[in-house]
Chain A
Amino acid sequence: MDINKGPYSNHLKLWRKPAEENCTMDEFQDSDETAFVIEEITTIIKDTVEATIGSSAYIQNRINQWTSSVVETSLNQLSKLNKPFKYIVTCIILQKNGAGLHTASSCFWDSTMDGSCTVRWENKSMYCIVTVFGLAV
Chain B
Amino acid sequence: MEEYNAGEEVSFNADEASVTVKECIEGIIGGLDYNQNKVNQWTASIVEHSLTQLVKQGKPFKFIVNCAIMQKSGAGLHTANSCYWDTATDGSCTVRWENRTMYCVVSVFAVAVTC
Residues of A bordering B, CB below 8 Å: 1, 6-8, 10-11, 14, 58, 60, 63-64, 66-68, 70-72, 74-75, 78-79, 86-110, 114, 116, 131, 133, 135, 137
Is the beta-carbon distance between A108 and B80 smaller than 8 angstroms?
no
A88 to chain B, nearest CB (A): 5
Is the beta-carbon distance between B78 and A104 smaller than 8 angstroms?
no
Residues of B bordering A, CB below 8 Å: 2-4, 6, 34, 36, 39-40, 42-44, 46-48, 50-51, 54-56, 58-60, 62-86, 90, 92, 107, 109, 111, 113-115
Interface contact tally, CB-CB below 8 A:
164
Is the beta-carbon distance between A6 and B39 smaller than 8 angstroms?
no
Q: Which of A70, A96, A105 is close to B67, meaning CB atoms less than 8 Å apart?
A: A105
Known: A11-B113, A86-B84, A86-B85. A67 touches B62 (CB 8 A): no
Q: Which of A75, A102, A104, A109 is close to B84, meaning CB atoms less than 8 Å apart?
A: A75
Q: Which of B34, B64, B84 is close to A79, meaning CB atoms less than 8 Å apart?
A: B84
Cα-based distance from A11 to B97 in the complex (angstroms): 34
- B92 to chain A: which residues have CB within 8 Å? 88
Interface of B is mostly: mixed
Is the beta-carbon distance between B34 and A88 smaller than 8 angstroms?
no
Q: Which of B65, B76, B115 is close to A11, meaning CB atoms less than 8 Å apart?
A: B115
Is the beta-carbon distance between A99 and B84 smaller than 8 angstroms?
no
- A70 to chain B: which residues have CB within 8 Å? 80
Cα-based distance from A75 to B81 in the complex (angstroms): 10
Known: A105-B64, A106-B48. A60 touches B114 (CB 8 A): no
